[in-house]
Structure formats: C-alpha cells, structure tokens
Amino acid sequence: MQGYFIRSSRVTPSVYFNPKKELLDLRGKSSPENPLNFYGSLLVNMDKYVESHKGNITVNLAFEYFNTSSSKCIFNLLRKLDSINQLGKRVIVNWYYENDDDDMLEAGEDFSSFFGYEFNFVSVPVINSLGEETEEEPQLNAA
C-alpha cells in the first residue's frame, strides 16, 4: 500500500499517510462545502489499510477549526480506526489543540468518549499544516 501527501488548502487540512511508518497525520482547517469529496478517498484508503495491513497505527489530528459536516467525516475516520483496534492492534490518536482553544480540546474529548483506544491530548502554541509556508517547521511530535 502506497502512502501519500496532500497539501492543505484554505478549507482543507494537510494529509500525510505513511503505511510503512503506521502513521496518519491531518492538520489545519476543515470546512469544505462537500467534505465527502475530500475525506472519501481517505476513508477508502483506511479501509484498504485495515484489510492489507495488520499493524498498529498512530494518528495525529491537529485541527485549527472544523465545521459540522467535517466532524461527521472525522468521526467516520475514528470509527474505521476502531476496526483496527478490534483486531487487537494498537491505535493511538494524538489530538493536538492550540493552548487557548478549549472548544477544540472538548471536541477531541467528545470524540474519544465513543472509542476504547488511546487518545492523547496535546496543547501546542500554534497549529501549522504540513507543507504550509511558515518561518518554522511544524512541531507536532507524537506523545
């Protein structure tokens, strides 16, 4: 299975998927008009990952913002991760939120309440998308 990278846009997060490293990373804003167009291929790839890869996975989620329709797609992604967990494999979700963003922390806590795998909540000063042009590289490290 091949990995891939999608650069963030004004309304979609960056996506870095590396099956060999057992890593999925989404960062940025998520407010596309039709989130199924954006998240659909990611959800299909997670199905393929579950079928072909019997290993663990670490997922870094670092959203500045997501709209209500994106939250359903994020939930569906987390539900697919639950199928990996049900196979007895380790699933770790690192939920990053900006230091003063209590709403995003609460959203992560709400999502975590539906699933039995590990959620880590990590406060960071700022969330940058991968591939976005900034003076500094994003500093999100898995817990």
Q: pLDDT tens digits, residue range 14-58?
A: 999 999 999 999 999 999 999 999 999 999 988 888 888 777 999
pTM for this structure? Answer: 0.88
3-state secondary structure of 59: strand
pLDDT band (50, 70, 90) for residue 131: low
pLDDT of residue 52: 81
C-alpha distance from residue 9 to each of 54, 97, 105, 108, 112 (Å): 32, 19, 23, 22, 27
Nearest to 120 by CA among 143, 90, 97: 143
SS3 117: coil
Residue 92 has phi, psi (to 5 degrees) of -125, 125
Average pLDDT over residues 107-133: 90
- Domain positions in the chain are 4-124
pLDDT, averaged across the chain? 89
- Locate 75 and state its tokens: 């939930």
- Least confident residue range of 17-21, 65-69, 115-119, 139-143: 139-143
Give the residue carrying structure tokens 């049900």. Answer: 86
Handedness of CA 79, 94, 59, 7 (dihedral sign): positive
Q: Is the pLDDT reported for residue 133 higher than 80?
A: no
Q: Give the class (CATH, top level) of 4-124.
A: alpha beta
- Written as six digits, the tokens of 139 are 């500093």
Half-sphere exposure of 92 (CA within 13 A, CB side): 15
